[in-house]
């Protein structure tokens, strides 16, 4: 078995953005947003889960998102035609955590935030400066293995989300095109636009995801969780339905968009959205 070359890779423990692999094993050298430090190998962060049961997930898909039950996929993030993305409900959001389910309520993946310092956590509690901070996420399977990495650099106006693979390779970007009216994002790979994401109203709750020809291939629907939960927690819940066969980088960016739409767009709208 050929071992990966020595390099910086997504930290498999989920505690940092990157950890250095020396060609034979993981080292104590870690990096967050370009700043290196030392953190010995320890226990991995748990895979985020929620208290959602299968019946609730099915109701969320069929009743709230009005998605017809589709044929089952292969049980993975990249093969299921319907994905349910539910944020872990918290009174105060210190770090972003999401559980990802198939349409029948089986969890297939999760999203966990990495590389967040103690100072940044304090700022998130005491201020509304999320939009000025860099957010780094890992999408992992149920074994904690990294499937994708997502980084939204600090922004002042428009968001750009950088999507990478499990070995640090760049896959593409999701780039916000406008600030007012119905928000639009472009899916870019190597500087070329291969698709787009369009909000269907100015509040940017539901999105149409399209290929380069403008044909809709998927939809993101935000599901209403009730007044009490919406007002008193930070939870956002979405359903992704992939309508057309989509493969390659476009499939990856479609999936990544559904998983990070809250981080890409909502963080700076909580005060006035």
197 domain residue, yes or no: yes
The whole-chain average pLDDT of the chain stands at: 81
Could you tell me how many residues make up the chain? 273
Most confident region among 56-70, 80-94, 112-126, 188-202 by mean pLDDT:
188-202
Strand order in the sheet with 7-10: 7-10, 18-21, 26-32, 35-38
Range 129-135 contact pairs with CB under 8 angstroms and sequence separation of 24 or more? 130/267, 130/268, 130/270, 131/155, 131/156, 131/267, 131/268, 132/156, 134/33, 135/96, 135/263, 135/267
Same domain? For 123 and 26 the reply is no
Tell me what pLDDT residue 126 has. Answer: 39
Exposure of 86 in the CB half-sphere (CA atoms within 13 A): 27
Report, as an integer, the average pLDDT of 56-61.
86
Cα angle 103, 233, 257 (rounded to 5 degrees) comes to 45
Tell me what pLDDT residue 208 has. Answer: 95
Any idea which of 55-59, 139-143, 155-159, 167-171 has the lowest mean pLDDT? 155-159
Short-list 236, 243, 247, CA closest to 269: 236
Q: Give the Cα separation of 9 and 19 in Å (integer).
A: 6
135 domain residue, yes or no: yes
State yes or no: pLDDT of 71 exceeds 80. no
Same domain? For 27 and 93 the reply is no
State yes or no: pLDDT of 259 exceeds 90. no
46 domain residue, yes or no: no
Same domain? For 32 and 58 the reply is no
State yes or no: pLDDT of 269 exceeds 70. no
The whole domain housing 20 covers: 7-38
227 domain residue, yes or no: yes
Same domain? For 237 and 105 the reply is yes
Task: List CB contacts of 180: < 8 A, sequence separation 6 or more.
Answer: none
* pLDDT, tens digit, 9 for 90 and up, residues 146-156: 999 998 877 66
* pLDDT, tens digit, 9 for 90 and up, residues 190-222: 999 999 999 988 766 789 999 999 999 999 998
Task: List CB contacts of 103: < 8 A, sequence separation 6 or more.
Answer: 57, 58, 61, 67, 69, 70, 72, 80, 81, 82, 84
212 domain residue, yes or no: yes
Same domain? For 60 and 174 the reply is yes
| Contact yes or no for 221/67 (Cβ under 8 A) | yes
Task: List CB contacts of 211: < 8 A, sequence separation 6 or more.
Answer: 194, 195, 217, 244, 246, 250
Tell me what pLDDT residue 133 has. Answer: 65
- pLDDT-above-90 percentage for the chain: 42
Structure confidence at residue 267 as a pLDDT band (50, 70, 90): very low
State yes or no: pLDDT of 131 exceeds 90. no
Give the domain CATH number at 231. Answer: 3.20.90
State yes or no: pLDDT of 72 exceeds 80. no
State yes or no: pLDDT of 45 exceeds 90. no
271 domain residue, yes or no: no
Q: How many domains is the chain built from?
A: 2
Same domain? For 122 and 30 the reply is no
Predicted TM-score (pTM) of the model is 0.80
Same domain? For 26 and 101 the reply is no
Same domain? For 21 and 64 the reply is no
Same domain? For 59 and 22 the reply is no
State yes or no: pLDDT of 121 exceeds 50. no
Any idea which of 7-11, 135-139, 201-205, 240-244 has the lowest mean pLDDT? 201-205
Three-class SS state of 29 = strand
| Contact yes or no for 258/246 (Cβ under 8 A) | no
| Contact yes or no for 178/162 (Cβ under 8 A) | no
Same domain? For 31 and 92 the reply is no
44 domain residue, yes or no: no
Same domain? For 260 and 132 the reply is yes
State yes or no: pLDDT of 118 exceeds 70. no
49 domain residue, yes or no: no
More confident call, 195 vs 13: 195
Same domain? For 124 and 238 the reply is yes
């Amino acid at each position: 078995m050929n071992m990966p070359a020595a390099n910086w890779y997504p930290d498999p423990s989920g505690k940092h953005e990157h950890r250095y692999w020396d060609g034979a094993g993981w080292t104590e050298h870690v990096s967050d947003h370009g700043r290196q430090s030392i953190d010995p190998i320890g226990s991995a962060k748990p895979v985020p889960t929620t208290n959602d049961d299968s019946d609730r997930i099915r109701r969320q898909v069929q009743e709230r998102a009005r998605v017809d039950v589709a044929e089952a996929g292969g049980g993975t993030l990249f093969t299921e035609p319907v994905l349910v993305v539910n944020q872990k409900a918290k009174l105060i959001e210190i770090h972003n955590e999401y559980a990802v389910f198939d349409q029948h309520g089986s969890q297939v993946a999760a999203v966990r935030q990495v590389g967040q310092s103690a100072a940044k956590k304090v700022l998130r509690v005491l201020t509304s400066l999320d939009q000025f901070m860099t957010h780094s996420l890992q999408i992992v399977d149920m074994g904690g293995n990294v499937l994708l990495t997502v980084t939204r650099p600090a922004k002042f106006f428009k968001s750009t989300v950088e999507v990478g693979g499990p070995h640090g390779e760049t896959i593409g970007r999701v780039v916000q095109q406008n600030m007012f009216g119905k928000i639009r994002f472009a899916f870019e790979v190597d500087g070329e636009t291969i698709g787009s994401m369009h909000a269907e109203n100015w509040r940017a709750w539901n999105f149409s995801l399209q290929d380069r020809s403008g044909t809709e291939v998927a939809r993101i629907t935000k599901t209403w969780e009730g007044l009490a939960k919406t007002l008193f927690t930070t939870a956002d819940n979405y359903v992704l339905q992939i309508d057309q066969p989509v493969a390659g980088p476009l499939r990856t960016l479609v999936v990544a968009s559904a998983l990070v739409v809250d981080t890409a767009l909502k963080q700076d709208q909580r005060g006035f959205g």
